[in-house]
A = this chain, B = another copy of it.
């Protein structure tokens, strides 16, 4: 396309609304525009990239034997009531009523819909395995939409659902998706590593998230520096640090006026965090629950929720609830004389000696407390693993990075098929529930992640595979007839070959054109300037130096890049 006819919306200024590089660059390059909080419009340039990413996903999904489907975004409440998630989904679900006052939601995900499809369309094991996928707009009313399309409320997702006759079949389907995802992210030009993920208390038998390392990632990902182990911190098991054995001392109540935080306590008792156990009070679906971890540890709320059998609504207890449970102000909670529905004790705490806890009395703590002698609870792993701890697989050292989830594969098993009575006739003539898997890719988030991993101070650096345009042909001086003629010929020749090419024929200074080209991240730039009189043009890759090339060789040079990148010109 000729740029004089295009809607070019590059911005020189960094928009105030953007916090991270990909968001800034998507706005500056004119790829997206905000419609409302977490809701974006895709401008022509952005949509082209989105479609390219979608096409890569579609191709690999088809190669893996999956079939494309398209479900409605509006879903009747009844399906969600059947699975039990209508209530469970909470405020994140956009809900609406039609003119007859019937309840619907805008699909945040489609397990229910595809389980419904399967129970209606699949009668026999002979029709299995089956994997249906869609590339579709999803809706989640996030509490805190942010980072542009990285966490938005209306976004494009690829979701797939596999149906197998047994667990072995599911394992095969799951591994096919795992392999396909690895190819997809590779082709998109990003490093996305599959890491072990939590499956939830009532979840399935296995799950992995595809994580891209990112400073602004909202997940903490645990990697072993020695072996291949990688897991979401939600899932990674912690190993209790061994406390030095001591003889039990006598318990002692100490007046600790205004000493509420761990920092205060360390000063007051002149000891280390490792001698304290903190007791945190939660409201878990209306029940009051306490969890104890060592003073320097963080509670892992996913582990906590799983231990409680799956919690929909988990939040720190209110000051009032704390007062009711501890008979004290916030800051003095402890396990002794605590009035809660459940007390969970991290296994590290259960192995500590003569430690300090709140006394459930404002202004007091107990010292020399010991698990078993002074209190009891449900012992388990309720804390986050920390940097430098031992790898749960090989014992090597753990490192933790921020990451963003771009994909998720999940062995659902029979969770939905049982809840929704979705069955088929097996080889023995028996009705059995489908064994299911589900597989998601955040398509718009993948697009943003590509930029996070591929940019410099001048703009985006698109991998050729997803670039909105492969080549930008620039005429330096549009009033120079020869420059325009040669530029136009190169443009037309590339177009005829099937290369996605733009021709910057705008009446702008060359500097502006170069800046726009770099900002938009076009992989190849052909500049037709003064040297055209010597039969030469400039060829430049986005991040390399200018090459002077004979006019008649420049198209071959473009083709060479396609070959190098193993991408066929359409």
Contact = CB atoms under 8 A, between A and B. Distances in A.
B76 A41 contact: no
A546 to B, nearest CB: 30
A41 B72 contact: yes
A130 interface: yes
- Between A44, A70, A122, the greatest number of chain B beta carbons within 10 A of the residue's beta carbon is seen for A70
A67 B141 contact: no
A117 interface: yes
B75 A35 contact: yes
Interface of A: 1, 5-7, 9, 33, 35-36, 39-44, 46-48, 50, 65, 67-76, 91, 94-96, 98-99, 102, 104, 106, 113, 117, 120-122, 127, 130, 132, 137, 139, 141, 143, 153-154
A120 B41 CA distance: 13
A113 to B, nearest CB: 7
Contacts of A5: 65
Given A67-B7, A94-B98, A132-B7, A39 B72 contact: yes
Contacts of A6: 67
Contacts of A41: 69-72, 113, 117
Nearest to A145: B98
Contacts of A91: 99
B96 A70 contact: no
Nearest to A133: B44
Contacts of A50: 70
A108 to B, nearest CB: 13
A69 B43 contact: yes
A111 to B, nearest CB: 14
Query: Which of A6, A75, A94 counts the most B-chain CB atoms under 10 A from its CB?
Result: A94
B137 A73 contact: yes
Contacts of A99: 91, 141, 143
A264 to B, nearest CB: 37
Given A7-B67, A73-B154, A98-B153, 5 more contacts: A7-B122, A33-B120, A33-B121, A42-B69, A44-B67
A116 to B, nearest CB: 8
Nearest to A41: B71
Contacts of A127: 7
Contact of A113 (B35, B48, B95, B153): B35
B113 A36 contact: no
B35 A72 contact: yes
Contacts of A40: 72
Contact of A96 (B39, B44, B95): B95
Q: State the main secondary structure of chain A at its contact with B.
A: mixed
A6 B68 CA distance: 11
Contacts of A96: 94-96, 106
Q: Of residues A41, A65, A127, which shows the largest number of chain B Cβ atoms within 10 Å of its Cβ? A: A41
20 contacts: A1-B67, A7-B132, A35-B113, A36-B72, A39-B76, A40-B72, A41-B69, A41-B71, A41-B117, A42-B69, A42-B70, A43-B69, A43-B121, A44-B69, A47-B69, A48-B68, A73-B73, A96-B106, A98-B153, A99-B143
A469 to B, nearest CB: 13
A349 to B, nearest CB: 37
A143 B75 CA distance: 18
Nearest to A95: B96
A381 to B, nearest CB: 33
B47 A70 contact: yes
A61 to B, nearest CB: 12
B74 A153 contact: yes
A71 B139 CA distance: 14
A260 B76 CA distance: 46
Contacts of A68: 44, 47-48
Contacts of A69: 41-44, 47
A74 B113 contact: no
Contacts of A47: 68-70
A434 to B, nearest CB: 13
B7 A74 contact: no
A348 to B, nearest CB: 37
Contacts of A132: 7, 44
Contacts of A75: 35
A36 B137 contact: no
A143 B47 CA distance: 34
A76 B7 contact: no
A151 to B, nearest CB: 15
A214 to B, nearest CB: 25
Contacts of A35: 71-72, 74-76, 113
A333 to B, nearest CB: 31
Nearest to A4: B126
A407 to B, nearest CB: 22
Given A137-B73, A154-B74, A36 B94 contact: no
**Which of A48, A67, A137 gathers the greatest number of chain B CB atoms within 10 Å?**
A67
